[in-house]
Structure 1
Amino acid sequence: MYWLPTLSILAAVPFTLASPLAPRWDDLQVKHAWNTVPKNWECQGHPPEGTTIDLRIALKPDRENALVDTLYEISDPAHPKYRMHLSKEEVAELVAPHPDTLELVNSWLEHHDVPSSSVSPTHGGNWLTLVGVPVSKANDLLGASYQLYRHAETNDTVLRTIGYSVPAALHKVVQTVAPTTYFGAPRAMRRTMHLQPNATTLQDGDRELREALANAKPGSAATVPASCASTITPTCLRALYNTAGYVPAATSSNKLGIAGYLDEFANHADLTTFMNRFRPDAASAAFTVVPVSGGGNDQTNPGVEANLDIQYAEAIAFPTPSTYWSTGGSPPFIPDSNTPTNTNEPYLDWLNFVLAGTSIPQTISTSYGDDEQTVPKDYATSVCNLFAQLGTRGSSVFFSSGDEGVGGGDCKTNDGTNKVQFLPEFPTSCPFVTSVGGTIRVNPEVAVSFSGGGFSNYFTRPSYQSTTVANYLASIGTKNQGLFNPNGRAYPDIAAQAQNFQVVVGGSTISVAGTSCSAPTVAGVFSLLNDFLISQGKAPLGFLNPLIYTSTSASAFNDIKSGSNPGCGTQGFSAVTGWDPVTGFGTPDFVKLQALVG
């Protein structure tokens, strides 16, 4: 006997989706397949006999548009339900599949002798997890050929198939199955940061800068010294983005989260050293490490990315409590091991973990991404919808926009046509996250050349962008025509400084650049805004984009009017007055945002 969720919405009803006759489970139709083995991956042959795999199946909800419709209602400042966020249980009801879907899928699994004890539902039955499925059985279920693949640069080994199918009877109800054709191994995920070995570093901190600004009015251009153009510290950012005068007052309930991957460990001792050097009044700053899917916490091996994220988010939002999620990849594959692989689904692992909790931090930052075209569309859509669930539950989710401008490498499509076009990034292209681009210099700030930006090929332009992006496209005429999808979700939405960040790693200060700097910076600013609202007994901001794109919000950002993001043999896009696909609406001004949301 198979499971059925207990939610009232899933009460038994007449079976209508299935054919009056038993479905043909051998009538397989392709769900997704690559033309060739993805770039940089090499097939290593079949896994040892007896190898097992954990599968996740995303089912389409009974009410197809209920989640997104609700998200837009509670995120629209003009809607009566604005900021009326939902509980875990209420979201589960929104995304629950039809009972007939569950019966049909259960029948399919039963046909293949998948034990009911190995099947468990999450998110109201929206996702199923099948634990310990023999690879031979997974091949039969999915018409697949799972093999081992090694990444040529990182030596990661993963268990994947270059194509999979599901029975025709399930195509209308199954969104995606993972792991299948997504080859995004953790260490192959693109970090959105890079080191600057020849840049100036401040080993002894920025005491003189702090003293110079101590009696100045925060936020005015005159209080941001020229030195911040060559070395960025928390003092620079707090002055630039006007947060220095705010003291958090809701630290018992407001929370900030940083999602970490790639065996990147945030170091407690380095955070203390960093604060002593750059923000001594926050020397007591700390964070909690929460492991996800076998993620570690090796304090002898501090990660540059992890330290960057936690140090700058904390430096702006202190003393807001912070969580660092250390999300593991799959364990090294041992040829004679039959233990299930974790399968390197980093976003999916982390999202499932966070959404399973009864409470979620009100502000979340992530600084990783992949070329959108390397992520199967069915998988990207399912993951994007999970980010929508975070927004519906009241979290503001930030992703760095990437460090490749409009695209890196040869910019050729991987669909067999080898067409040259701009290459958007995912997850920052998901319309349910806030994408953060990069700036450089001060008085004024300008776009940094590597700031990722462009238009998604997977996700259509969301309604909150319709007027703004249409106006921008009209202003550029035929520039870059044919190289991007003008109907796609445009990004980034906003921006922040992205170069010359002083970061402490192993006790020493180094200089770091990338939109990995921008995302935690902006997360810190908006965490303070959530603190402000919560301290007044109001709900947090949740999903931000509909607010950001209102006609009244533009004045709360510092518009970036110069710079560009070249790539793919072009100059890319240019920063202009108003929104642009280089820096979005620009960088935040906390005091003006405070007035806007308060």
Structure 2
Amino acid sequence: MKLTRGFALLSLVLAAYASSPLASSLVRHESRSELPTGWQQVHRASADLFLPLRVGLKQPNLLELESLLLDVSHPESPNYGQHWEPERVASHFRPSKQAVDTVRQWLQDEGIATSRLRYDPNGWVVANVTVKEAESLLKTEYNIYEHAETSTKHVACGKGYYLPQHVSEHVDFVTPTIHFDVKVKRENEFEKRTVPGAGKHIGQPGAGAVVPKPGGTIKYVYNIIDELQNCDKTITPNCLRALYKFLYEPLVPQKNDYAIVEYTPQAYLADDMDLFFRNFSKSQVGQRPNLSFGFNGESNLDLQYAMALLGKRQNITLYQVGDLPQGASFNNLLNGLDASYCTFEGGNDPLQDGIYPDPLDGGFKGPEDCGKVKKPANVISTSYGYNEADLTPAYTARQCAEYGKLGLMGVTVLYSSGDFGVAGNSNLCLNPDGSQTLDGKLFNPSFPGGCPFITSIGATQVLPGKKVTDPESACMSVIFSGGGFSNYFAMPDYQKSAVTNYLTKFPPPYSANIWNSTGKSRAFPDISANGANYIIGINGDFGLVFGTSASSPVMGAILTAINDARIAIGKKPIGFINPTIYSSSFKDAFNDITIGSNPGCGTNGFNATEGWDPVTGLGTPNFPKLLAKWLLLP
């Protein structure tokens, strides 16, 4: 690789530092080989520019998170369903006093006065420093970077940074440094070109890896008989009921909650909801979701189907995250769900997340909703996502752990797996140097789809010309079910048998260098549901949409019904479901999908096969079987 001037200067700085007595303790803490797509260095950052340097402390006991989850989530565990209270979770993973003292002492020894240091007991040491001081602390060089298409500017150190060994042992990551996580790729659905967007603007139309794909407007004139005869062309709630044998009337809805997450400016339209209900669930005309947290296709889709499938008695909460001027990020959501995740004074990184109170005109003027949700919903569905390669491993690991904590508390967290097959958002694929381009050849997994502590939902469809009673296929109309193997996360124990079986019986016919072929990485999706030809009410008309963003809320509705049935007989919610659904006792509880594939990156992708596969996971739900099996568990 050609040595750039900036990197050469960094090498000279390190060479000089090597003569100091502390040189042996210096380690490279984080690095990246290439800048994210579209970014370029424009000039050195001014030495007197102030940065809010934020040191994320490692949380103790994270290495045992998987075993703790298995203890309360595996059907053969004597502690199945004995979920933790939020206070116990916060205490168990709070950074140690040694970590806090070590980082504070290092900063003070480097000349940062105590008055300039602040500590958030939930995991961050914050220091107001100049660029000159940050470069000295981290032995790196800060530059201003600019995005070629939007002229958006970003301050970062680009390649990497260093910490003393004894400090590095206690630190997850430092910002701002190499993290361009603020940026995600999104597809402008009208101009059909790639445009950049901020992480805190993930609710913008097309932002993130998973958004519903429009299929045009239609005129709906079917009755229920016609509906069931046309499920290959248009999916309605009745089609889904027929596909998955889903008929259920909630028994204790006041004790059970299901939450749909939306990011502003995505928001449902009341008139569209009533248009949908008048045709598919007349008794729910006028019904609205409960609001939490203080452009409409995503929200309308998620809420219309979740509410129609569960009926008017079931409680559904909308987690509306962010305000109109600045939006929000996944971190803003997690702050509201878990106070232990909040950063200093309930705030976040202004380069990555929504900061409240929002000083912008029309912005939310209250404080960050830090731990506002005292008891998260039993099931939470999110139809948004990133490319894994957009984010650094440290950033994704820290966020993934938070989903594991929610699982410990008995929360089922669902995420859409992606809509571009083995490719990433906007069909971007990886290159050997880590960059993402349309002509890349390496498979590009999604995040949080590859996090082992969430349940990743793929997409299926009724094949053209087939009946609703015929076997479904992997979705291959308009979108391709996202799936593959993470480049960041190791394979969890709960899926080793299923994935090993797939790799042994159906080895993918590709060179080992274009996908993670180690057999040791987290594989996804876990399960699937229909994701094609959904009729929704949108802006006063009926339209068709496609995507795993439809599959996730439908799966969430089915799991919510199972929770209701368990709670009604005095049992606990199902919580983190992955260890259970991969267990031998649930082997026949899903409709195995063996038709289709998920193309991308110049290949046919993976094939849907017998058993688990990286296209549709374990398959689609068979509600009566799932209900019976979960009711038998403690």
- Fold-level similarity (TM above 0.5): yes
Shift of 1:571: 1.3
Q: Partner amino acid for 1:387? A: Y
**Which residue of structure 2 lines up, in the alignment, with residue 181 of structure 1?**
178
**Which residue of structure 1 lines up, in the alignment, with residue 17 of structure 2?**
none
Q: Distance in 1 between matches of 2:321 and 2:403?
A: 18
Shift of 1:477: 3.5
**Which residue of structure 2 lines up, in the alignment, with residue 456 of structure 1?**
486
**Which residue of structure 2 lines up, in the alignment, with residue 447 of structure 1?**
474
> In 2 relative to 1, CA 149–356 (structure 1 residues): closer, same or farther, beyond 3 Å?
farther
Q: Partner amino acid for 1:312? A: Y
Shift of 1:457: 1.4
Query: Secondary structure of 1:496's match?
Result: strand
Shift of 1:516: 0.9
**Which residue of structure 2 lines up, in the alignment, with residue 427 of structure 1?**
448
Shift of 1:24: 5.7
Query: Secondary structure of 2:254's match?
Result: coil
For residue 560 of structure 1, the aligned residue among 593, 605, 613 is: 593
Could you tell me whether the CA contact under 8 Å between 2:212 and 2:548 is conserved in 1?
A: no
State how 1:52-451 maps to structure 2 within 5 Å. Answer: 54=52, 56-111=54-109, 112-113=111-112, 119-122=118-121, 125=122, 127-128=123-124, 130=126, 138-143=134-139, 145-153=141-149, 157-162=153-158, 163-184=160-181, 185=183, 187=197, 189-198=207-216, 201-203=218-220, 206=222, 208-209=223-224, 212=225, 225-243=228-246, 245-261=247-263, 263-291=265-293, 302-318=295-311, 319-327=314-322, 331=326, 342-345=350-353, 357-407=373-423, 408-415=427-434, 420-441=441-462, 442=468, 443-449=470-476, 450-451=480-481
Shift of 1:470: 0.7
> In 2 relative to 1, CA 499–140 (structure 1 residues): closer, same or farther, beyond 3 Å?
farther
Q: Distance in 1 between matches of 2:23 and 2:273?
A: 55
**Which residue of structure 2 lines up, in the alignment, with residue 572 of structure 1?**
605
> In 2 relative to 1, CA 272–512 (structure 1 residues): closer, same or farther, beyond 3 Å?
same
Q: Deviations over 1:200-219 (max 9, x none)?
A: 62456x5x02xx39xxxxxx
Q: Distance in 2 between matches of 1:469 and 1:547?
A: 15
Q: Distance in 1 between matches of 2:349 and 2:61?
A: 33
**Which residue of structure 2 lines up, in the alignment, with residue 40 of structure 1?**
38
> In 2 relative to 1, CA 110–539 (structure 1 residues): closer, same or farther, beyond 3 Å?
farther
Q: Distance in 1 between matches of 2:107 and 2:415?
A: 37
Q: Partner amino acid for 2:515? A: F
Shift of 1:494: 0.3
Could you tell me whether the CA contact under 8 Å between 2:215 and 2:533 is conserved in 1?
A: no
Q: Partner amino acid for 1:322? A: T
Number of paired residues?
A: 538
Q: Deviations over 1:62-106 (max 9, x none)?
A: 334333221111010100111111111111232133321221122
Q: Partner amino acid for 1:325? A: Q
Q: Distance in 1 between matches of 2:115 and 2:413?
A: 35
For residue 480 of structure 1, the aligned residue among 487, 510, 528 is: 510
Single out whichever of 49-58 and 188-197 deviates more from structure 2.
49-58
Q: Partner amino acid for 2:605? A: G
Q: Distance in 2 between matches of 1:280 and 1:158?
A: 50
Could you tell me whether the CA contact under 8 Å between 1:330 and 1:342 is conserved in 2?
A: no
> In 2 relative to 1, CA 394–105 (structure 1 residues): closer, same or farther, beyond 3 Å?
same
Q: Deviations over 1:333-361 (max 9, x none)?
A: xxxxxx996222489xxxx9676743111
> In 2 relative to 1, CA 79–562 (structure 1 residues): closer, same or farther, beyond 3 Å?
same
Could you tell me whether the CA contact under 8 Å between 1:257 and 1:365 is conserved in 2?
A: yes
Could you tell me whether the CA contact under 8 Å between 1:77 and 1:547 is conserved in 2?
A: yes
Shift of 1:147: 4.8
Query: Secondary structure of 2:230's match?
Result: helix
Query: Secondary structure of 1:489's match?
Result: strand
Percent identity of equivalent pairs: 34
Shift of 1:590: 1.9
Could you tell me whether the CA contact under 8 Å between 1:55 and 1:177 is conserved in 2?
A: yes
Shift of 1:504: 2.1
Q: Distance in 1 between matches of 2:228 and 2:428?
A: 37
Could you tell me whether the CA contact under 8 Å between 1:272 and 1:283 is conserved in 2?
A: yes
Q: Distance in 1 between matches of 2:349 and 2:173?
A: 19
Q: Partner amino acid for 1:321? A: I
Could you tell me whether the CA contact under 8 Å between 1:472 and 1:580 is conserved in 2?
A: yes
Instruction: Find out whether 1:544 has 2:577 as its counterpart.
Output: yes
Shift of 1:152: 4.2
Could you tell me whether the CA contact under 8 Å between 1:287 and 1:321 is conserved in 2?
A: yes
Q: Distance in 1 between matches of 2:621 and 2:306?
A: 14
> In 2 relative to 1, CA 178–386 (structure 1 residues): closer, same or farther, beyond 3 Å?
farther
> In 2 relative to 1, CA 131–515 (structure 1 residues): closer, same or farther, beyond 3 Å?
farther
RMSD of aligned alpha carbons: 3.3
Q: Distance in 1 between matches of 2:270 and 2:131?
A: 41
- For normalisation by structure 1, the TM-score amounts to 0.81
Q: Deviations over 1:521-544 (max 9, x none)?
A: 111111121122222221111111
Q: Distance in 2 between matches of 1:266 and 1:488?
A: 37
> In 2 relative to 1, CA 496–346 (structure 1 residues): closer, same or farther, beyond 3 Å?
farther
Could you tell me whether the CA contact under 8 Å between 2:420 and 2:481 is conserved in 1?
A: yes
Single out whichever of 565-574 and 409-418 deviates more from structure 2.
409-418
- For normalisation by structure 2, the TM-score amounts to 0.77
Q: Distance in 1 between matches of 2:220 and 2:144?
A: 46
> In 2 relative to 1, CA 24–52 (structure 1 residues): closer, same or farther, beyond 3 Å?
same
Shift of 1:564: 0.6
Query: Secondary structure of 1:555's match?
Result: coil
State how 1:482-497 maps to structure 2 within 5 Å. Answer: 482=512, 483-485=514-516, 486-497=519-530
Shift of 1:310: 2.3
Instruction: Find out whether 1:581 has 2:574 as its counterpart.
Output: no
| Unaligned segments of structure 2, at least 5 residues | 1-20, 185-196, 199-206, 328-346, 356-367, 463-467
Could you tell me whether the CA contact under 8 Å between 1:362 and 1:542 is conserved in 2?
A: yes
Q: Distance in 2 between matches of 1:137 and 1:269?
A: 55
